Structure 1
Amino acid sequence: MCAFPAQPPAHPFDDDKLKEECGVFGVIGVADAANFVALGMHALQHRGQEAGGIVTHDPETGFNSARRFGYVRDTFTKADVMATLPGSIGIGHVRYSTAGSKGNTAIRDVQPFFGEFAMGGCAVAHNGNITNAAALRRELIERGSIFQSSSDSECIIHLMARSIQRNIPERMKDALRRVEGAFSIVAMTRTKLIGVRDALGVRPLVLGRLGESGGWCLSSETCGLDIIGAEFIREIEPGEMVVIDAKGVESFHPFDRRPSRFCIFEHVYFSRPDSILGGRSVYETRRAIGVELAREAPVEADLVCPVPDSGTPAAIGYAAESGIPYGMGIIRNQYMGRTFIEPTEQIRNMGVRLKLNVNRALVRGKRVILVDDSVVRGTTSRKIKDMILDAGAAEVHFRIASPPTAWPCFYGVDTPERSKLLAATMSEEEMRVWIGIDSLKFISLDGLYRAVGEAGGRDPRNPRYCDACFSGEYPVAPSDMIEKGFEMKAAE
């Protein structure tokens, strides 16, 4: 008999999802780089909502920076803030804390980070997670480094400072060869914009071109290019570094080449549906996931409803393949914002009702299929089930557009420890009973691979994606977590 996890106190902002990692953006060769960067960060806001930062360089004022808590729209749209960020080159970062002081972000942890070297300054913005950061930090502190933040990303600046190379791109190559884990980096010097992806290409990074100005930009996703009217040129390759200046783009491959292991959950949830990943529309991939799910897990029902907003494309695909009508059975309140940041106990107990409301006239008396992107702790699934039944639904069936999330991510996603993941402690049937629904089915790992374009499903000898949160097979051993006692999956 498994031990059912205790249900944490209801909280209006706990939507029981894996939290987005971070987003990075950079631009060079434009008149007011900070405004372009702020727009790019706004487009990437879904990747991090805690805080953001911008660094620019201007020949007269030097390096300029601003870091703020909250949404980009509330901070980097103010004239007094933007006036402090002159220059034709700039980088930005939106943060959700996955390393450092989780849930208690200090302004010192907000990126980009900056270092002054003998050959000039360099600012660095990092998306991902360094899995050997604790070991590197101990080594650097023992050798005299003084850290200003609790972020793993600051290790990169200190490693660069200790390099004997004569220019900043070469120092960055030196530093990143010491780093394990996942990283997509946008960095800048006085005259250069730099983009780097780790050898496995776990996290995304794309290159764009601004036609009228001739400027270049780097973004975590293509939606960041769209908002500033930039042309998508290509993805930065796994293990590639690009260095962009007035002469154009130079490409280097400083790391040993390895098979790509891009994060498959970017396709499922993290990336915006209007972005392009690996030449594929994220929206179309999510719709294809719904089609595969309908083939693998059919059920007699009257209505297919998404759990908004991330379940919507998969629900559309499920409805189209199954022939069951699609309907918006749950409506999201788009304007809640942070109004109830300190709610009363009565409001706190309303839980997800602050965000979601059931379309009672549509679901009453119906056998409803709810399509969601994932189940993490399962607490929100229980609340949504209660809301649907309270509205008069005859049956509730959950169909999940990802395999069971049974393992934590150590590559830049804020995942609960393994004991708090529902799928780590229960079978599918036990989860169904605990949530209290008529049926529960997840897409298979093979089905997910087919939906992202792998016709033969997942090759267990050479999987194309990082799917460690589903399979427990980590492409890079999380050495810091192993040191703390994390037990890897036993070899089969």
Structure 2
Amino acid sequence: MFDDKLKEECGVFGVYNNNEFDTSRLTYYGLFALQHRGQESAGIAVNNKGTILYRKEMGMVSEIFDDVVLDYLKGHSAIGHVRYSTTGESYAENAQPLVIKYTKGHMAIAHNGNITNASKIKKELEEQGTIFQTTSDTEVIAALLSRIRIKYSAIEDALREVMTIIKGAYSLLIMTPNKLIAVRDPLGMRPLVIGKKEDSYVFSSESCAFDSLGIKFIRDVEPGEMIVVNNEGIKSIQTEVPKKSASCIFEYIYFARPDSIMDGIEVYSARYKAGIELAKEHPVDADVVVGVPDSGLAAAHGFAHASGIKYVGGFMKNRYVGRTFIQPSQEMRELGVHMKLNPIRSQIEGKRVVMIDDSLVRGTTSKKIVNLLKAAGATEVHVRISSPPVKHSCYFGIDTPERKNLIAGNMSIDGIKDLIGADSLGYISNEGLLSTCKDGKRDYCMACFNGKYPMDVDDEEEK
């Protein structure tokens, strides 16, 4: 939505169909529900009696697939992907699922996350003769798996060895002519859930994709777990995992849809609790509370409830301004935020406003929104952020700027307040944020806030 936000990751959706329902259309609607996780490209691959058919292109799900394409993509199992490039350039060849042929046959793979030692593995494979067609770390996983697969009769045994080599964050869906395999990284950094529709099994990055499709949510895929589905049924293979997990806490702050449930926590509830905590940590004397759409709204409701300050709908969001929004000149670029958000003057004018947002990365957009509120007649604008200051880059599947471009990594809170033109500025504390997720099943990665990475980061990745 805004250039000041951390960019979405990717989303995966897969189904192993033991019934007669339309697999490709079910996958299409699943990806549609996950569109918020990536808007650069999308793809679907299906297994049609041992032959993998696929379609993937740059663009949104609804732009790529129509009835003709979906009628062509017939099969008893399917995997789909929506992409935002966190590693690898935004090119059509990097769109997923990635379909490859190798000595043991062929497979399709879809990946959400980032492999931190991908550069090292790729270099070693190239020295052994492997040729790469993309710049995506997904192809590195596929190439490594196809090479190791030669040693094993079952692909899941080869995949278990691959998991001991690759480092980083990943949720994987792998489709072969007779199996569908779902894998979550040992730290559980990227989300993955499993559901059931009649006698068929379905996998998704988020549970929200199940709700409107009549799919029963079963559970989260566990960290380090590999789930294999074929015509004989379903089995779980648990690989070795660290003592502590490290789920990405930014899923709850911003990335996931509010109606999703991840590792036992409803995303909306976590955001609402963050607003309550913000009101406790940074009280303010004001007239109204407004939330920046959409991910700031739940926290704004929580802040209003805890503070007793009236919540109002402060902004009208233009939902038709998307990724193809044309900005032909610098003058028009300056109007960009105003084209996407417009304050509702009757709710703002003459009032002291508390503006709630989920994060503040570069500060550029926050400054523009504060200016919009003051131009609409707000006498004061007090900014409250439902995440701690983002001071460090992420290497695990979130597209954060270099640290030199992270405003909180280079400036004091008072300096940021002055830069964005706010009358006051308050961030939720690390401890306060963790308290919003204390009822979950996982420990959390907070590296973008505290710099404590849950694993070593490859030198090339840091560069």
TM-score norm. by structure 2 comes to 0.96
| CA displacement at 1:480 relative to structure 2 | 3.6
- 3-state DSSP of counterpart to 2:310: coil
Shift in CA distance, 223/371, structure 1 to aligned 2, threshold 3 Å: same
Q: 2:14 aligns with which of 26, 30, 41?
A: 26
In the TM superposition, 1:8-407 aligns within 5 A as: 14-29=2-17, 30-31=19-20, 32-59=22-49, 62-76=51-65, 78-101=66-89, 105-163=90-148, 164-211=151-198, 214-338=199-323, 340-407=325-392
Is residue 406–residue 418 contact of structure 1 (8 Å, CA) maintained in 2? yes
| CA displacement at 1:482 relative to structure 2 | 6.2
| CA displacement at 1:257 relative to structure 2 | 4.2
Is residue 253–residue 387 contact of structure 2 (8 Å, CA) maintained in 1? yes
Superimposed CA distance per residue, residues 457-481 of structure 1 (whole angstroms, 9 cap, x where no aligned partner): xxxxxx9200100010000111144
Superimposed CA distance per residue, residues 68-89 of structure 1 (whole angstroms, 9 cap, x where no aligned partner): 111112222x122212211010
- Root-mean-square deviation (CA, aligned residues, Å) is 1.6
Is residue 199–residue 258 contact of structure 1 (8 Å, CA) maintained in 2? no
- 1:434 alignment partner in structure 2: 419
Q: Percent identity?
A: 47
Is residue 187–residue 241 contact of structure 2 (8 Å, CA) maintained in 1? no
| CA displacement at 1:136 relative to structure 2 | 0.6
- 3-state DSSP of counterpart to 2:137: coil
Is residue 122–residue 168 contact of structure 1 (8 Å, CA) maintained in 2? no
| CA displacement at 1:259 relative to structure 2 | 1.4
Is there any run of 5+ residues in structure 2 with no aligned partner, and where? none
- 3-state DSSP of counterpart to 2:396: coil
In structure 2, distance between residues paired with 1:199 and 1:454? 21
Q: Which amino acid aligns with 1:34?
A: S
In structure 2, distance between residues paired with 1:242 and 1:117? 23
Is there any run of 5+ residues in structure 1 with no aligned partner, and where? 1-12, 456-462, 485-492
| CA displacement at 1:340 relative to structure 2 | 3.2
Q: Which amino acid aligns with 1:71?
A: M
In structure 2, distance between residues paired with 1:308 and 1:344? 26
Superimposed CA distance per residue, residues 214-273 of structure 1 (whole angstroms, 9 cap, x where no aligned partner): 111000000111232100001000010000112221111233443111111111111100
- 3-state DSSP of counterpart to 1:92: strand
Is residue 126–residue 153 contact of structure 1 (8 Å, CA) maintained in 2? yes
Aligned length: 458
Is residue 87–residue 136 contact of structure 2 (8 Å, CA) maintained in 1? yes
Superimposed CA distance per residue, residues 338-388 of structure 1 (whole angstroms, 9 cap, x where no aligned partner): 563253444322120110001111111100000000000000000001111
Shift in CA distance, 256/299, structure 1 to aligned 2, threshold 3 Å: closer
- 3-state DSSP of counterpart to 1:244: strand
Is residue 26–residue 213 contact of structure 2 (8 Å, CA) maintained in 1? yes
Superimposed CA distance per residue, residues 136-177 of structure 1 (whole angstroms, 9 cap, x where no aligned partner): 110010000010100011111111121111222222222222
In structure 2, distance between residues paired with 1:92 and 1:271? 18
Q: Which amino acid aligns with 2:449?
A: F
In structure 1, distance between residues paired with 2:74 and 2:448? 42
Is residue 185–residue 224 contact of structure 2 (8 Å, CA) maintained in 1? yes
- 3-state DSSP of counterpart to 1:153: helix
- 1:5 alignment partner in structure 2: none
In structure 2, distance between residues paired with 1:72 and 1:49? 8
Is residue 288–residue 353 contact of structure 2 (8 Å, CA) maintained in 1? yes
Is residue 305–residue 371 contact of structure 1 (8 Å, CA) maintained in 2? yes
Is residue 366–residue 393 contact of structure 1 (8 Å, CA) maintained in 2? yes
| CA displacement at 1:40 relative to structure 2 | 0.7
Which deviates further from its counterpart, 424-433 or 171-180?
A: 171-180
TM-score norm. by structure 1 comes to 0.90
In structure 2, distance between residues paired with 1:23 and 1:445? 27
In structure 1, distance between residues paired with 2:3 and 2:212? 27
In structure 2, distance between residues paired with 1:480 and 1:182? 17
